[in-house]
Amino acid sequence: MDCIFCKIGEGSIPSKKVFENERILAFHDINPAAPVHVLIIPKKHIASLNDAEDGDWGTFGEIAGVAQKLARELGVADSGYRLVNNCGKDGGQEVFHIHFHLLGGAKLGPLFSRGS
């Protein structure tokens, strides 16, 4: 499968890893949008949240735990951070291997604007 995040998960494309176990990998985003910008992925190829199956929910809970641990380690737990999943075209998803952005280290802008 021609998936860039599967290749990062296998190690055939290099990344700056910050966490790894049998199921999950976290690494620095190549084009950071904030001082701390880490991507947390399941090693299993799941294209998007739309494609997750019943057996996958435990992995997403584990990803939330990894995000909590990394926020502490990267020094943003107290100042605050965002954990974001973009799903599909309108959600702004560009890489179709599900991933969660951990963003922090600066005051983040509003996620969306509302008309007045």
Provide the minimum distance between the beta carbon of 42 and Zn ion in the complex, in angstroms, as a whole number: 9
> In angstroms, rounded to a whole number, what is the distance separating the alpha carbons of residues 67 and 83?
8
37 is catalytic: no
Nearer to ligand 5GP, 55 or 109 (CB): 109
From the list Zn ion, ligand 5GP, none, which binds 49 (C-beta under 5 to 8 Å, kind-based)?
A: none
Which residues are within 8 A (CB) of 33 and not within 5 positions of it... i.e. 6 or more apart?
Answer: 101, 103
Nearer to ligand 5GP, 30 or 106 (CB): 30
- In the numeric block, the tokens 């107290």 are attached to 78
Q: Where would I find the beta strands (DSSP E) of 29-84?
A: 36-42, 81-84
Q: Does 97 bind Zn ion (CB under 5 A)?
A: yes
Of the candidates 104, 94, 92, 81, the one whose C-alpha atom is nearest the C-alpha of residue 33 is 104
Q: Does 44 bind Zn ion (CB under 5 A)?
A: no
**Catalytic residue positions, numbered:** 99
Contacts with Zn ion, residue ranges (CB under 5 A): 3, 5-6, 45, 97
